[in-house]
Structures are given as structure tokens and as C-alpha cells.
Structure 1
Amino acid sequence: MATRTDAPTRREQILKEAARLFAERGFHGVGVDEIGAAVGISGPGLYRHFPGKDAMLAELLVGISEQLLRGARHRLAEVDGGSAEDVLDSLVEGHIDFALDDRPLITLHDRELDRLRDSDRKLVRQLQRQYVELWVEVVREVYPVLTEPTARSAVHSVFGLLNSTPHLGRPGSLPGRGAMAELLHRMARGAFEAAGTE
């Protein structure tokens, strides 16, 4: 989503607007007609792309979990041979990109995950566990003093910090994106540093 540079497909446009509207007004507060209007098609026209709102929600939440895990694996491959510090910095940068560019999906996950079918919710949780464990392994390389449970707690804490971006105010009221990314990066690495020196 956030890393694509080519023009979004109609399906991607629908998902982006659905995420924004669901995050603003809640899943049940948004109708298919409103989503359609946001992308310039009729509400019923959405059914050519999705069977309904439930399918949009599932694709959004499963999709972002898949994207985060795939992106993290790609970043590990990119810095193959680099130091564990480089790998951790790259993972932090990737998550910051998500936290700054896909803020509605964070809100959506927090509010609406329980609305998914059991199979979709289990898939999201499975992908998230894999993502966390990837981070835990890297964090323990950088800070060998950390036990596995402590490293996992530190990773979850840093995710909580980075995923707080929807609560920081409107985008125009924040520092520029570059400055915000740098601040979040320093804070994330500072949290790991504090955990690693206990």
C-alpha cells in the first residue's frame, strides 16, 4: 500500500477509502454507498470488486499483516551480511513507514479485528506472531543480555509506541514526515536500549 509508486488499481482505491471511512466512523457507521461515492462509483458497483464490507475489512486487516511480514523478510534479505544493528534499524524504519503512512489501518485493527470471521482473525494473529518473532530474534542479536520473554515484551512495547500515530493529532499538526520518522526511530531504539541495559 504505502510503498507502491504506480497508480493504484480501482480495488486498491476502494480499500484505501474503506479503511479511511471505517477508521473515522466505525465499520457499522459506513455504508457501501458512501464507500462507492468516495471512489466515484455507485454502491452496488462495489460488488463487482468485493462481495461486501466484511470482505473489504478482511482484505484490509489480513493484507496489512501480510505486507508487514513480507516487508520485514525483504528488509532482512536486503541487509544480509550487515550488522544486527543495521537489521534492527531497517525493521524500525519499515514499521515507521507503516505507522505514518497507514494510520487508518492501525485504528481499524484496534477497533474492528473482532469483526473478522474466525479463520481470518486467526490468520491475522498467525501473521502477527511471525512478524513479532522475526523482530525478537534480531533484538536478541543486538542485545544478547535479553531473555526471549523480555525481548518479546520490548518488541510489543515498541510496536505500541510506533502504532500510537493515529492518536498524535491531525497530520497537519505534526512535525514534517521526516522529522516525525526520525523522532519515532530515536524513541524506538531508545526503548530497546533501555531494555537491553537492564
Structure 2
Amino acid sequence: MTKSAQAAGMGERVRSTRVRDPDRKEKILEAAADLVARNGYHSVSMADIGAAAGITGSGIYRHFESKSAVLVALFDRVIDGLLRDEREIVDHVSDLRLALHQLIEGQVEFVVGDRELAQVYHREINNLPEADRRRLRRKQRLYLEEWVHLLDELRDDLGDTEARYVVHAAIAAIQSTLFHDSGLPEERLRRLLTDAAIAVLGC
């Protein structure tokens, strides 16, 4: 066997033992959420994200073709998770008031437990390509529709437009803490935001 053939064989063995990190894409998304939350979308480069995720060179481009693609993946994950949890609640909780309260708790958990990611969403969604922005907005409206439907069922005194307005007000009450550091313990903050949303919804 020639030296070149031996080298090729060695190369094949090296490639065959190389294991792709299954968590690499998730590490990229987590790093991006942290960096963008702290520094802003425009101040963060793909190289910054790769370095924070422990990926050197062009490795990050094997997973995402651009910085906006990273942001889109982050936001899809957020909204898809909320929609998935919402569907689970609606399908399995027959008490409408309890179902609405569990939706409130899920939104509170997103705002308090995933604060950095929620901040990124609110600050940066307008930096996305228009097609992605419109698609994500449609998902967001779909998420809100279930809140409106439940509130319509629970409150006969509200019309559909009024129920929609009240739902937006309740979610705004929950999200009001995103850009204000209350200094409260997380559990206390969760309780206050949940109570505020229930009070706004009136049920």
C-alpha cells in the first residue's frame, strides 16, 4: 500500500470516529439568547455566538446560515413551546377557569423563568425578515385566540372585541416586568403577576 493510500485510510478512520455533538444546535441558541439579551442584536456577531457556544471557525454555519436564522429559530422555539403547552391544557383541562389560570401560569413562567429570551423576543422581532416576522405574528395570534375563546365562555358581559382587549391587557400586565428589575424573589414575582392577570381578566 502506498503512503497516500495509507494516509487516506487513516483519514477515513478519523472521520468515522468523529461524533457530532447532538446538543451543539441547542448550545448555539442558548448562547445567542444570552448575548443578544445583554448586548442587543446588532452588537452581536456570528463569531461571538460561536465563541460563546464553544464552536470555532465556520462550524456555526453548519447549523444556521445567518444571524437572523438563529433569531428565527429562537423565536420559533418560544412560540411553538407556548402553543404546545396551550394545546395540552385545552385538551386535558375541562374546567374553563382552571384552564385559563394554567395559561396565565405558563405565560408567567415564560416571562420570569425565561426572562432573557422573552426580552430578546420583544426587542428584536422587528429585526427579522418580513416573511419570518409575519409568520411568527400569526403564531402569536393563534396563541392569543385560545385565551380569547376561554374568556368569551367565562364572561357573558364581554363581547368578542372586548374580550380580546382584556386578554391583551392581562398579558401586558404579565410582561410589564420584562424591562424592570423588581428585585423580588422569583416565586413572589410569579404570584404577583399571576394575581394581576387574573384580576385584569376578571375570572
- Give the TM-score, by structure 1 length: 0.85
Query: Who is 2:187 aligned against?
Result: 178
Distance (whole Å) between structure 1 residues aligned to residue 32 and residue 195 of structure 2: 32
Deviations 1:97-128 (A, max 9, x none): 11112222222222221221222111111101
Q: For the structure 1 residues 22 and 88, does the alpha-carbon distance in structure 2 shift closer, same or farther, using more than 3 Å as the test?
A: same
Q: How does 1:82-121 map to 2 (within 5 A)?
A: 83-121=95-133
- Residue type of the partner of 1:44? S
Gaps of 5+ in 2: 1-21
Identity of aligned residues (%): 36
Q: For the structure 1 residues 70 and 118, does the alpha-carbon distance in structure 2 shift closer, same or farther, using more than 3 Å as the test?
A: same
Report the alpha carbon displacement of residue 43 of structure 1 after superposing the two structures with TM: 4.8
Query: Who is 2:164 aligned against?
Result: 152
Query: Who is 2:29 aligned against?
Result: 15
DSSP-derived class of the 2:178 partner: helix
1:191 aligns with 2:200: yes
Quote the RMSD (CA, aligned, Å). Answer: 1.8
- Give the TM-score, by structure 2 length: 0.83
- Residue type of the partner of 1:149? T
Query: Who is 2:91 aligned against?
Result: 77
Query: Who is 1:64 aligned against?
Result: 78
DSSP-derived class of the 1:169 partner: coil
Q: For the structure 1 residues 167 and 114, does the alpha-carbon distance in structure 2 shift closer, same or farther, using more than 3 Å as the test?
A: closer
- Residue type of the partner of 1:190? A
Report the alpha carbon displacement of residue 77 of structure 1 after superposing the two structures with TM: 1.5
1:32–1:44 contact (8 Å) kept in structure 2:
no
Distance (whole Å) between structure 1 residues aligned to residue 57 and residue 153 of structure 2: 51
Gaps of 5+ in 1: 1-7
| Greater Rg over alpha carbons, structure | 2
Range that drifts further, 110-119 or 53-62 = 110-119
Q: For the structure 1 residues 94 and 36, does the alpha-carbon distance in structure 2 shift closer, same or farther, using more than 3 Å as the test?
A: same
